[in-house]
């Protein structure tokens, strides 16, 4: 189920079918773009449903619930058209518009697109955008959300606008051409100031095998390799597949400099390898807007377990996020090395993982018990 409890947008998305306003197709299949698991998907049979989701935690939740997950290309083909396309658009408008264009392209002749957004997540703008690309839409509001749907379609109402919207979401060069990025990623059109602050503090003497947790499009990993010649390998862990693909492209020039690994992975589930250095700018939001410091704490726990003894964690976070207590639990040496513009950089050194104590020989245990009785008697 969704990690943030009740999912009002998902509930509202299915409302037209629950109320009988729309009919779930018996043939032709149903594609769910940016699908999320949740109890509304389990209330009644949903024949033909397949799901696309590029965010690893949500993808894993769908698979655990038994839903079929597909990985569609950027372009729709005749084999990838459906009688119904459901959409839960993201907040970023360029990305959402491109998703609407994809949804229309994936509709079979006579198919519909049905989308839903929270009222405070751009619902009115989303409805307007879908109407611009697909023609008049039906709509209803409930659960502080708006669900809206097209008439039966035969392609976009405005093919040129659809092309423009798809192009607006395409990877593009940022930071004077140093990196490729795209809308919807964290700090997608700039170098994030918190990550920049962390990079400025990285000691040139860091060495060995490293990991970047929540790597995005690869800025931290790229700078780590550029500034620390002793780093021999970097594994990039990123939950959003759209970012990981760009990280591959951005790190390609460093492939001859160090061994590189790219992992579509939910860091909160832990890591399977050991490292000498870990860098991270952990996310502190999930699908909603509320602070989620538990995500950052899970990153810290994963880093602590994955670092070799005396390995170093270099982490940046918003100054108000309460990570210090968690760091002190897992690390023996924790210090704040920089604070600026509402951010803090923390360096922590891993302590040796405690090994379970070996059981004492039976004779020693007997002597210990005897001494304990003697002390108690005295």
Query: What secondary structure does DSSP assign to 70-113, as a single string?
Result: ----SS--GGG-EEEEEE---SSHHHHHHHHHHHHHTEEEEEEE
Confidence of residue 28 (pLDDT cuts 50, 70, 90): very high
8-168 and 172-350 agree in CATH topology:
yes
Would you state the CATH architecture of domain 8-168?
A: 3-Layer(aba) Sandwich (3.40)
Structure tokens at 215: 């790597």
Q: Is the pLDDT of residue 337 over 60?
A: yes
Multiple choice CATH, 172-350, 3.40.50.150, 3.40.109.10, 3.30.565.10, 3.90.580.10: 3.40.50.150
**Could you tell me which of 145, 119, 142 has the C-alpha nearest to residue 19?**
142
The maximal CA–CA distance of the chain, rounded, in angstroms, is: 93
Q: Where are the beta strands (DSSP E) in the chain?
A: 30-33, 49-52, 68-69, 82-87, 107-118, 137-142, 145-150, 172-174, 179-181, 207-213, 230-238, 259-264, 275-280, 307-318, 331-340, 343-350
The predicted-structure confidence for 114-126, as pLDDT tens digits, reads as follows 999 999 999 999 9
CA-based torsion, 132, 134, 138, 142: positive or negative:
negative
Round to whole Å and give the CA distance between 288 and 301: 23
pLDDT digits (tens, 9 = 90+) for 234-284: 999 999 999 999 999 999 999 999 999 999 999 999 999 999 999 999 987
- Backbone angles phi and psi of 352, in degrees to 5: -60, 135
In the structure encoding, which two tokens stand for residue 349, read together? Answer: 């050194």
Q: Provide the pLDDT for residue 29.
A: 97
Whole-prediction pTM: 0.88
Q: Whose structure tokens read 């594994």? A: 235
**Residue ranges in 173-311 assigned as alpha helix (H):** 193-201, 219-227, 241-251, 293-306
CB-CB contact of 299 with 214 (8 Å): yes
Reported as a pLDDT band with limits 50, 70 and 90, residue 4 is: very low
pLDDT at 287 over 90: no
pLDDT-based confidence at 292, cuts 50/70/90?
confident
* Tokens 């001859």, located at residue: 256
What does the mean pLDDT of the chain come to?
90
Tell me, what's the pLDDT at 75? 60
Candidates 175, 214, 174, 178; CA nearest to 314 is: 214
Pairing state between β 82-87 and 49-52: unpaired
User: How large is the average pLDDT for residues 324-353?
Assistant: 92
Select the more confidently predicted residue: 140 or 358. 140
Task: List the domain boundaries for the chain.
Answer: 8-168, 172-350
């Amino acid at each position: 189920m969704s990690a943030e409890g009740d999912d009002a947008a998902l509930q509202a998305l299915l409302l037209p079918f629950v109320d009988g306003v729309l009919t779930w197709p018996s043939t032709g299949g149903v594609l769910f773009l940016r699908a999320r698991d949740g109890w509304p998907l389990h209330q009644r049979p949903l024949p033909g449903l397949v799901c696309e989701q590029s965010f690893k935690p949500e993808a894993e939740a769908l698979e655990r619930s038994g839903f079929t997950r597909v990985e569609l290309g950027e372009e729709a083909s005749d084999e990838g058209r459906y009688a119904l396309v459901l959409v839960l658009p993201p907040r970023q408008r360029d990305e959402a518009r491109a998703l609407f264009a994809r949804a229309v392209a994936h509709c079979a002749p006579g198919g519909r697109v049905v989308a839903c957004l929270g009222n405070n997540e751009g619902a009115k703008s989303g409805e307007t955008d879908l109407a611009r690309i697909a023609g008049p839409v039906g709509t209803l509001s409930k659960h502080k959300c708006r669900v809206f749907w097209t008439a039966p379609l035969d392609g976009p109402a405005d093919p040129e606008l659809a092309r423009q919207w798809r192009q607006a979401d395409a990877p593009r060069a940022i930071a004077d051409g140093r990196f490729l990025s795209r809308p919807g990623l964290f700090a997608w059109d700039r170098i994030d100031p918190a990550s920049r602050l962390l990079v400025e503090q990285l000691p040139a003497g860091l060495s060995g095998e490293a990991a970047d947790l929540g790597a995005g499009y690869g800025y931290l990993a790229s700078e780590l390799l550029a500034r620390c010649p002793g780093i021999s390998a970097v594994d990039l862990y990123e939950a959003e597949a759209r970012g990981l693909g760009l990280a591959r492209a951005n790190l390609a020039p460093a492939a001859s400099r160090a061994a590189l690994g790219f992992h579509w992975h939910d860091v909160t589930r832990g890591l399977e390898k050991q490292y000498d250095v870990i860098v991270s700018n952990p996310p502190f939001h999930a699908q909603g807007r509320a602070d989620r410091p538990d995500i950052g704490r899970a990153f810290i726990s994963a880093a602590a377990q994955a670092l070799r003894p005396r390995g170093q964690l270099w982490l940046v976070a918003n100054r108000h996020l309460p990570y210090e207590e968690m760091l002190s639990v897992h690390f023996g040496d924790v210090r704040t090395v920089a604070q600026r513009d509402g951010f803090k950089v923390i360096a922590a050194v891993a302590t040796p993982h405690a090994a379970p104590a070996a059981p004492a020989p039976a004779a020693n245990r007997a002597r210990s018990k005897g001494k304990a009785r003697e002390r108690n008697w005295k």
